[in-house]
Amino acid sequence: MTDIFTIAIDGPAAAGKGTISKAIAARFGFAHLDTGLLYRAVGARVLAGADPIEAAKSLQAQDMERDDLRSAEVAQAASKVAVIAEVRAALVDFQRAFARRAGGAVLDGRDIGTVICPNAEVKLYVTASAEVRAGRRFKELTGKGEATSLETVLADVKARDARDMNRAEAPLKPAADAVVIDTSELSIEQALQIALTEISALK
């Protein structure tokens, strides 16, 4: 495999793209960037009173290390700041530089194959029904001790899907040349096998 190789993985919340991305990165020895964390870090700073555009422009590595970034509240805040064109613009260079670093990179998010890395060597779009995704996220949140209900999580997932898919700037959608993997009826291991087969065919 050549030194510079980008794998772009997009999809809605809780479709399994994070787990698949990490496993692919580990398998090939590539670096991994969860780009949702950038938006979550901006969202968390906004919840603490910051201006979204200023927060995006001055994002520091330590902002990504906060331990509250995985909460449902921060997820919604991330989805809201992600609508703002200037917020997205402030995060582009960092993501593109990461994608072209030596040794290969896996980036997962919403607009990696469409906007950030339109020339990525591999593009995957990992999805699943809203109900299946809500079920997975509910387990994850309650496993961490967050008090919530399945109905609340499903409503959150649907609200985030609608905002992420219908925004004017870099909306969530599969790139024209992305391979779509629907994980609704698959285990993570099965989905990973499909992803690895696709990558092997393209590398």
Kindly list the residues in this chain that would bind ligand DC in the complex (CB under 6 A). 13, 35-36, 39-40, 75, 78-79, 82, 109-112, 160, 164
- Of 36 and 52, the one with the shorter C-beta distance to ligand DC is 36
Q: Which is nearer to ligand DC, 3 or 43 (CB)?
A: 43
- Strand-by-strand arrangement of the 122-127 sheet: 31-34, 105-109, 6-10, 122-127, 179-182
Q: Kindly write down the DSSP assignment for every residue of 148-175, as one continuous string.
A: --HHHHHHHHHHHHHHHHH-SSS-S---
Smallest distance from ligand DC to CB 158, Å: 12
How would you class 141 by CB atoms within 10 Å of its CB: exposed for 0-12, middle for 13-18, buried for 19 or more? buried
Please report how close the Cβ of residue 91 comes to ligand DC at its closest, in angstroms. Answer: 8
Measured from the CB atom, the residue of 30 and 108 that comes closer to ligand DC is: 108
Q: How far is the CB of 154 from ligand DC (least distance, A)?
A: 15
Nearer to ligand DC (CB atom), residue 54 or residue 171: 171
3-state DSSP assignment of residue 102: coil
Q: What's the one-letter identity of residue 53?
A: I
